[in-house]
Amino acid sequence: MSVFASLVEHLADLLQPLFGASAAAAAIVLFTALVRLLVHPLSRAAARGQKARTELQPRIAELRRKHAKNPEKLQRAVLELHAEERVSPLSGCLPSLFQLPAFFLLYHVFSSSEIGGRTNELLSHQLLAAPLGGRWADALGDGGAVGGAGLVYVALFAVVAGVATFSYRLTKRTMAARPVLPTGDGEPVPGVGAITKVMPFMSFFTLVTVAVVPLAAALYVVTSTTWSAVERAVLYR
């Protein structure tokens, strides 16, 4: 973890002439962009996998009709179909999974008062008036929503709400263009209706994350979700 903290500190030193006291915050944004750039090949693979799975929907619907009374055989047949077409049902999860270590490192670094037995100097860094180790609750207790730190969170919430709205519309459009076909007898696939209703709203849960994690981790989340929204718009068009 101390190696990671040193990396953030070095990036902040490099950005100091441009961003002054907010250099560490800028370093986190830059670090997030680098992580997303490294994960981008997986995102492209996930997009290709999603398109391939969509093309398989008619064949899967036929399998559902054929094995309607034998769920185990249906599951085996669907897995065999994916293997035959070299389509992984889990490919869409890989970009998120590979980002988790970076997020948790940021979370722990900016939640720890000491690193390697020494005072965590990163906690002294700020984004404007908001400490990178602070949370929204701290900002509310120190000046309220319109105080210096509170306004930083207001700006972050506004960005997240805008990105979430964009993602909501994109998800609705994508799901409408690539619906899950019903079973062979015309019945809807169990559970799909509920998922279809809930999924477009998932992006709004980012607001909760930003509110409860340290500001440094919140910056990672905001930057990453913004990147994801733009990336999805390009890859899934």
pLDDT digits (tens, 9 = 90+) for 188-208: 445 444 555 666 677 888 899
Look at residue 196 in the predicted model and tell me its pLDDT.
55
Look at residue 184 in the predicted model and tell me its pLDDT.
47
Paired tokens of 218: 């919140």
Who wins on pLDDT, 124 or 195? 124
Q: If pLDDT is split at 50, 70 and 90, which confidence band does 185 have?
A: very low
Look at residue 173 in the predicted model and tell me its pLDDT.
78
Q: If pLDDT is split at 50, 70 and 90, which confidence band does 211 have?
A: very high
Who wins on pLDDT, 34 or 96? 34
Q: If pLDDT is split at 50, 70 and 90, which confidence band does 67 have?
A: confident
Range of the domain at 226: 2-235
Least confident segment among 65-69, 147-151, 188-192 = 188-192
Look at residue 192 in the predicted model and tell me its pLDDT.
46
Mean pLDDT computed over 48-75: 76
Q: If pLDDT is split at 50, 70 and 90, which confidence band does 38 have?
A: very high
Mean pLDDT computed over 68-84: 77
Mean pLDDT computed over 91-101: 80
- Round to whole Å and give the CA distance between 169 and 104: 29
137 contact partners, CB below 8 Å, separation of at least 6? none
Tell me the percentage of the chain whose pLDDT exceeds 70.
86
- Report the Cα–Cα distance between both ends of the chain, in Å, rounded: 39
Tell me the percentage of the chain whose pLDDT exceeds 90.
33
Who wins on pLDDT, 182 or 209? 209
- Round to whole Å and give the CA distance between 217 and 100: 11
Number of domains in the chain: 1
Among all chains, which residue has been given the structure tokens 């079973």? 183
Q: If pLDDT is split at 50, 70 and 90, which confidence band does 96 have?
A: confident
Question: Using the 8-state DSSP alphabet, how is residue 178 labeled?
Answer: S
pTM over 0.85: no
In the predicted structure, residue 236 carries a pLDDT above the cut 70: yes
- Round to whole Å and give the CA distance between 209 and 156: 11
Look at residue 224 in the predicted model and tell me its pLDDT.
94
> 57-66 and 23-55 helices cross at what angle (nearest 10)?
60
